[in-house]
């Protein structure tokens, strides 16, 4: 086996992004419920016009952080800044934010237009202005002509769009979205991911989105923060987080990743490589010069339409998952590969050292 030193991770932002003003800051926020610490010193900065996602499993602290931003919960310590103003103790209705929930929370007895206009009525916006803004919001979510219908006459995706229109019609500084697509079926959810990103770009409002769905986070976000056990494990653009995971948790939670342990330069090192980066070769084949090489035997084969997933037990210990596109093969072809000896290779720049606890491994010259 040839295993070069794993690459270091990088999550630098572009100069253009850094030039945008901070819309929201969470500073050293702590929140506990009895003896359970839900948020443990979270620091977060979201810039104006960003689509920012908080991603993590249940109980990771992402929803509690969202509730702190919305004002539904108060931090035990720390600050929430909105447009540079400290709103930590400001009640939810006085903060320039709106929240969209998974259950839509539409009024069933009101029409679509009345639902969207509700917040404007509360603010006593004049009727002509109210109608104009409602029409604009419905057009933005592609529901022109649906104003007189009631929520019960709409599909799940249409109800979600009404909830979104009701939130953006007030033109909040920040729009908070708490797993808003969770109740939709897979195909509609994928369509709405694209729609949400389009709407966010059209209105220019800062979106802060909470989800446990990695595909949603990778599809829509300008940047994302991966939460785990009340802390942020990694923060950066989707490609950076996916390609350069800084911890074993991020490598395993954001997509699928292989984790191996090998002795490199006399030091035992754990590293990760994504399944799609690994090339499956015939036994004894010559890989490209400088490639990382492992030999092994195919243990399992799973055909999933566009791709096939292979699990390969390695001669040097451990196992790797490999994903290969089914360009000219069928299910019967690939299933015959089980128990075949193979050679695996990948480029050294696709290998990243990790520590189980969370930080990228620092390599020092000895």
pLDDT in tens, 87-126: 999 999 899 999 988 787 889 999 999 999 998 998 899 9
Residue span(s) of the chain under CATH 2.40.50.100 come to: 256-354
pLDDT digit string, tens, across residues 341-353: 999 999 999 988 8
Mean pLDDT of 268-290: 91
Give the whole-number percent of the chain exceeding pLDDT 70.
90
In the chain, CATH 3.40.50.300 sits at 15-96+172-249
User: Measured between alpha carbons, how far is residue 43 from residues 176, 225, 250, 320 in Å?
Assistant: 17, 10, 18, 35
Residue 282 CA: distances (Å) to CA of 289, 297, 339: 16, 11, 13
pLDDT of res. 48? 94
Q: What was the pLDDT predicted at 6?
A: 53
> What whole-number distance in Å separates Cα of residue 88 and Cα of residue 75?
8
Q: pLDDT higher for 14 or 181?
A: 181
CA distance 58 to 353: 27
Own/partner pairs, 307-312, CB within 8 angstroms, 24+ separation: 308/334, 309/275, 310/280, 310/337, 312/280, 312/342, 312/344
**Which of 2, 4, 6, 3 has its CA nearest to residue 352?**
6
Question: Does residue 278 contact residue 324 with C-beta atoms inside 8 Å?
Answer: no
Provide the pLDDT confidence category of residue 355 given band limits of 50, 70 and 90: low
Instruction: For domain 256-354, give the CATH number.
Output: 2.40.50.100
Bridge partners (DSSP) of residue 26 are 44, 80
Looking at residue 12, what DSSP letter applies?
P
Half-sphere exposure of 334 (CA within 13 A, CB side): 23
With b meaning 16 or more CB within 10 Å and e meaning fewer, what string describes 271-285? bbbbbbbbbbbeeee
Whole-number Å distance between alpha carbons of 17 and 23: 12
Count Cα neighbours of 181 within 13 Å in the Cβ-side half-sphere: 23
Q: Does the pLDDT value for residue 357 go beyond 60?
A: no
Q: Is residue 185 pLDDT above 90, yes or no?
A: no
What is the model's pLDDT at position 14? 46
- The side-by-side arrangement of strands in the sheet containing 85-86 is 36-47, 22-33, 77-82, 85-86
Nearest to 229 by CA among 9, 39, 35: 39
Query: Which pLDDT value is given to residue 344?
Result: 96
What mean pLDDT do residues 8-21 have?
54
Mean pLDDT of the chain: 87
Q: List pLDDT tens digits, range 216-240.
A: 999 999 999 999 999 999 999 999 9
pLDDT of residue 317: 92
Chain centre distance of CA 124:
37
State how beta strands 206-211 and 174-178 pair: parallel
Q: What is the pTM of this model?
A: 0.83
What was the pLDDT predicted at 356? 55
Report the CATH number of the 15-96+172-249 domain.
Answer: 3.40.50.300
Residue 258 neighbours by CB under 8 Å, 6+ apart: 272, 273, 274, 275, 278, 319, 320, 321
Q: Is the pLDDT of residue 360 over 50?
A: no
Encode pLDDT of 19-30 as tens digits. Answer: 678 999 999 999
């Amino acid at each position: 086996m040839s295993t070069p030193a794993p690459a270091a991770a990088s999550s630098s932002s572009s100069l253009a992004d850094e030039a945008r003003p901070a819309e929201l800051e969470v500073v050293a926020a702590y929140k506990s419920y009895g003896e359970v610490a839900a948020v443990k010193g979270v620091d977060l900065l979201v810039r104006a016009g960003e689509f920012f996602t908080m991603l993590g499993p249940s109980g990771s602290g992402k929803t509690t952080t969202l509730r702190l931003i919305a004002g539904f919960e108060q931090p035990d310590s720390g600050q929430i800044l909105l447009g540079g103003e400290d709103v930590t103790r400001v009640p939810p209705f006085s903060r320039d934010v709106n929240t969209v929930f998974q259950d839509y929370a539409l009024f069933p007895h009101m029409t679509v237009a009345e639902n969207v206009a509700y917040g404007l009525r509360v603010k006593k916006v004049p009727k002509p202005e109210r109608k104009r803004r409602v029409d604009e919001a419905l057009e933005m979510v592609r529901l022109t002509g649906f104003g007189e219908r009631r929520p019960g006459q709409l599909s799940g995706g249409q109800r979600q769009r009404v909830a979104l229109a009701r939130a953006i019609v007030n033109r909040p500084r920040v729009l908070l979205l708490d797993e808003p697509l969770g109740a939709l079926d897979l195909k509609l959810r994928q369509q709405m991911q694209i729609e949400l990103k389009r709407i966010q770009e059209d209105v220019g409002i800062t979106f802060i989105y909470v989800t446990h769905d990695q595909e949603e986070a990778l599809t829509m976000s300008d940047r994302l923060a991966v939460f785990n056990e009340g802390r942020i494990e990694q923060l950066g653009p989707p490609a950076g987080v996916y390609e350069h995971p800084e911890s074993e948790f991020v490598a395993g939670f954001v997509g699928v990743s292989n984790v191996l342990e090998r002795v490199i330069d006399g030091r035992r090192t754990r590293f990760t490589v994504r399944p799609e980066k690994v090339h499956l070769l015939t036994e004894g084949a010559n890989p490209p010069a400088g490639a990382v090489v492992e030999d092994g035997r195919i243990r399992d084969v799973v055909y999933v339409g566009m791709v096939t997933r292979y699990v390969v037990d390695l001669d040097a210990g451990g196992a790797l998952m490999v994903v290969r596109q089914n360009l000219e093969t069928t299910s019967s072809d690939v299933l015959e590969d089980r128990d075949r000896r193979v050679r695996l290779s990948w480029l050294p720049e696709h290998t990243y050292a990790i520590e189980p606890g969370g930080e990228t491994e620092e390599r020092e010259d000895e």
